[in-house]
Amino acid sequence: MPQVRQENGLLIAHWAGSSAAYRVQLSDNEAFSPVLASHIVAANETRLIAPAPGSYWLRVIALDANQQESAASPAAPVAVATVFKPWWLLPLLIL
């Protein structure tokens, strides 16, 4: 199962494996219907721009040298937090 953390507006995911490439997919439900983002990476780590705050799922599919897919990894739950922006405090800084 991929390990995912949120940092500076990014989702950073990593997993164990030694395949030629990986397909990384993000969805807002565990059934992955629809897939919101999907891309192929050559390493066992990727960085995605964090989507809007909410609950998501991320999974990884290993690809061999012929681009044949393995079974998908178990889906990892991802909670994208709301970034607190205390804009209402700005007038107090002027005083």
Percent of the chain exceeding pLDDT 70 equals 86
Q: What are phi and psi of 10, to 5 degrees?
A: -120, 150
pLDDT band per the 50, 70, 90 thresholds, residue 82: confident
State pLDDT tens for residues 12-24: 999 999 999 999 9
Residue 94 has pLDDT above 80, yes or no: no
Whole-structure pTM value: 0.82
User: How high is the pLDDT of residue 22?
Assistant: 97
CA distance 58 to 51: 12
